[in-house]
Chain A
Amino acid sequence: MDFSFSKKEEKFRQELRTWLEENLPQGWLHGDRELPEDINEYSRFLRDWQRKLYEGGWGAIAWPKAYGGREASLIEEIIYQQEMVRVSAPPLVNYVGIHMVAPLLMQMGSGEQKSAYITKIISGEEIWCQGYSEPNAGSDLTAIQTTAVKKGDRWVINGQKVWTSFGHLADRCFLLARTSKGEKKHHGITVFLLDMHQEGVETRPIIQMDGEHEFNEVYLNDAIAYDSDIVGEIDRGWQVMIALLMHERTGIGGQVFTLEQQFQDLVTMAKEWTEDGQSVIKKESVRNALIDLYAKSRGSLLNYYRNLTKTLKKGQPGSEGSLDKLIVSEATQELFALSLSIQGPHGILWKQDAAIGDSYWQNKYLYSFGMTIGGGTSEVQRNTIAERILGLPKDLGR
């Protein structure tokens, strides 16, 4: 048992830390982290950051050197995430491209697809989104109804996608569409690399309960794709999607490290927040709730490390990822709920009237409700844990 990192790994950390200090946007390290409000400026800001990472050799560290990566080990990827969380680095606008689409194309894309897309992904020139969920296909992705029909040399695509992150900024979409009615529901699905800049594609914003806009609806009305845009085989998109998920090596590491930091911030807040002149951390109920959360957030991190150790030894991740996802999302939700309780009656104040700073706690609290839904609901994770890890029978209806 050893929680330290090797000299080589620490050298890697230092190199990245130094680079970040020199290259983060102006004022970022000193807390000036406002992202532009205007959508075009916002998009430019995030693309510029992606490009800067790429030019510094930090755009996609796990990729092969030939594509601009540095063939980083899994541990180096973990360190990368820790350091990004440490400085609260700007969001990675091209997460889908870097961690999913490009590695998949390297594995099973055509030569044409590789040369057309991979470099543009790492440089931030082209942003990718995922076209998975639909109004009637949430937890049950096999229920997708978007269709792609071959007409001449074109595939004509119709349907609606929803919960498309950064869809409003994206240039291309990794899209699941039904190309035939298979014997089983997950048969007959095909993966298309869809051009988002065309007449048949319309994105509309979804305003979340925290007032922000990260997700979109995407309407497909006779959108066009070609044979050359298909990944893998026609009607066998399900296997392609499974292969794509396997490329997300570090799992929810980023969220785990973020939770660790958020817990420290919460403790600081509870020490500074006073009620009738006394710090609320001295209240027994607050103190006990924080101890419970301390155990849970430490437990999340330690459990993640224990599963990581297994992955390192086995060479590939197991079903334990669903456990880590469930743990970290629920703990994060609990943390922000407590953060508002701690502020007493004033916790209800929002935006410019929030009792603390920039309404950070209220915004995060509201946002945290999405964490147990997005990326697989807690219910789906519990099914996976029970069925894949404990061997319980599959659910009714499946």
Chain B
Amino acid sequence: MDFALNKEQELFGSYVRKYLTEQGTTNIARAFINGDRQRFDQAFQGLVELGYPSINVSEDYAGMGLGLLDMVLPLEEMGRSVLPGLFLETNSFAVPLIEKYGTEKQKQKYLPAIADGSLQISVAWIEPKGSYKASSIQVSGVEKGDDFVLNGVKSLVADVELADTFLVPIRTTSSSHEEGISLFLVDKAMIKNVTQQQSIDETRKLSQIHFEDVIVNKEQLLGELNEGDNILEEGLLSFNASICAIMVGCMAAIVDMAAEYAKIREQFGQPIGRFQAIKHAIANMKVDLELSRSLSYYANWAYDTAAEDRQESIFAGRIFIHNALQKAAAANVQIHGGIGFTEELDCHLYVKRARYYEHYLGSRESYYEKAAAALGW
């Protein structure tokens, strides 16, 4: 019985914390919001030097060959800083799928480049007014010789500017496959028409991608034709295990922030942390944080060890942790009072990121359904 991360994992987490603290934590996100990418690029390069993007790339492709559990603490640190970037999409979603379903050529092309930080992947899944369900996917791919010709619009695509390649589910319906969805790796060079979308969470720049006769070679198909739906489901396991960790990091920062403020802010002649209305609100956050952390560690462990209960642990974990984060982020504003409502303090960054995660790559409702299905209910 040993439910703790090991020394190496702790050490790696502390390196990332030290580095992001030096880089100014949420100031990276603030600069990014204001259109200054330089600070983010610098932070990203630093994380590359620490080895982050290579953690779960296998050793055959110049990675470290480690698991999701090794990414938990670095992700918590990124959550603390509300860091922009495609860390989840690239390492937690795309890497496990390319490792499992990629052709040798695809692996050679993408994995070493991801590991050395020269390539990032975003996910172009949902469509205007659509859902994440397979039945909702309308962007079409028509076979033409060695290529597929793509047409349609993807929406809410995160950080097109940072991405080099997109994972795109495409409807490849044919007479033999009425519900065929296939997954393509579409390189940015092929995409010409992108329009930006304003998002509440400005640490993520969202866009619509307009596919207008975009030609993609068959070699860019990930996995079997018309098997895209199942492959995406698998990607959601690793993605959600990681999103648990990043949300825990957001909460950890919130609890620190609220507790520190309650110690120094005085009203009625004493620190507001002496009042139980404030004190207990913070204690509740702390309880939720520790429950979330335990669920997150377990979800990641369950993924790495292919434990029998990995699906329910990951999906129910995401639901619980997201809910806890959203509550904590809101309570943090309230505890700070007037100053918490301003743009100046970081409170709003966490509120907005929490909202961003609510339905990202799968609605809350869909995760209830998936968790129940995994439990056999």
Residues of A within 8 A of B (CB): 1-5, 75, 78, 267, 271, 281-282, 284, 287-288, 290-292, 294-296, 298-300, 302-303, 305-306, 308-310, 312-313, 320, 323, 326-327, 379, 381-383, 385-387, 389-396
Contact = CB atoms under 8 A, between A and B. Distances in A.
A2 B2 contact: yes
A4 B301 CA distance: 13
A75 B3 CA distance: 13
Interface string B1-16: 1111110000000000
Contacts of B275: 396
Given A382-B284, A392-B263, A306 B297 contact: yes
Contacts of A75: 1
Given A291-B372, A299-B320, A323-B287, A392 B377 contact: no
B259 A300 contact: no
B279 A291 contact: no
Contact of A393 (B4, B263, B316, B372): B263
A384 to B, nearest CB: 8
B291 A300 contact: yes
Interface in B239-295: 255, 259, 262-263, 270-271, 273-276, 279-280, 282-284, 286-287, 290-295
B301 A308 contact: no
A78, A290, A313: residue with the most chain B Cβ atoms closer than 10 Å: A290
Nearest to A287: B372
A201 to B, nearest CB: 37
Contacts of A288: 368
Given A287-B377, A379-B276, A389-B286, A3 B1 contact: yes
A99 B290 CA distance: 28
B274 to A, nearest CB: 5
A57 to B, nearest CB: 23
B317 interface: yes
A383 B2 contact: no
A158 B232 CA distance: 72
Contacts of A282: 377
Interface of B: 1-6, 69, 255, 259, 262-263, 270-271, 273-276, 279-280, 282-284, 286-287, 290-295, 297-298, 301, 312-313, 316-317, 319-320, 323, 368, 371-372, 375, 377
A290, A302, A327: residue with the most chain B Cβ atoms closer than 10 Å: A302
Given A295-B319, A295-B320, A303-B291, A271 B377 contact: yes
Given A287-B377, A298-B313, A393 B270 contact: yes
A49 B262 CA distance: 51
B60 to A, nearest CB: 25
A282 B282 CA distance: 36
Given A75-B1, A294-B371, A308-B3, A302 B297 contact: yes
Contact of A1 (B3, B271, B290): B3
Given A292-B319, A292-B320, A327 B4 contact: no
A303, A379, A383: residue with the most chain B Cβ atoms closer than 10 Å: A303
Contacts of B317: 295
Contacts of B293: 306
Contact of A303 (B283, B294, B375): B294
B294 A394 contact: no
A303 B280 contact: no
Contacts of B319: 291-292, 295
B270 A267 contact: no
Contacts of A299: 291-292, 294-295, 320
A385 B274 contact: no
21 contacts: A1-B4, A1-B297, A271-B377, A290-B377, A292-B323, A295-B319, A298-B295, A299-B291, A299-B320, A305-B1, A306-B290, A308-B3, A323-B286, A323-B287, A381-B283, A386-B279, A389-B286, A390-B255, A390-B259, A391-B263, A393-B274
A17 to B, nearest CB: 18
Top 7 A-B residue pairs of the complex, sorted by shortest distance between their CB atoms: A295-B320, A302-B294, A299-B291, A382-B283, A392-B273, A305-B3, A303-B294
A390 B219 CA distance: 55
A302 B286 contact: no
A392 B262 CA distance: 7
A355 B313 CA distance: 32
Given A1-B297, A386-B282, 5 more contacts: A298-B298, A302-B294, A303-B291, A383-B279, A387-B279
A234 to B, nearest CB: 35
A191 to B, nearest CB: 31
A119 B298 CA distance: 43
A271 B377 CA distance: 8
Nearest to B318: A295
A206 B323 CA distance: 40
B40 to A, nearest CB: 31
A295 B1 contact: no
Contacts of A389: 286
A1 B301 contact: yes
A74 to B, nearest CB: 10
Given A287-B372, A392-B282, A5 B1 contact: yes
A1 B282 contact: no
A256 to B, nearest CB: 12
A291 B371 contact: yes
A299 B290 CA distance: 9
Given A287-B372, A305-B1, A327-B287, A390 B282 contact: yes
B272 to A, nearest CB: 9
Nearest to B304: A1
A54 B314 CA distance: 44
Nearest to B313: A298
A390 B286 contact: yes
Contacts of B262: 392
A139 to B, nearest CB: 12
Given A299-B320, A382-B283, A1 B291 contact: no
Contacts of A2: 1-2
Contacts of A387: 279
A300 B273 CA distance: 26
A379 B316 contact: no
B10 to A, nearest CB: 12
A339 to B, nearest CB: 16
A390 B289 CA distance: 12
A288 B6 CA distance: 34
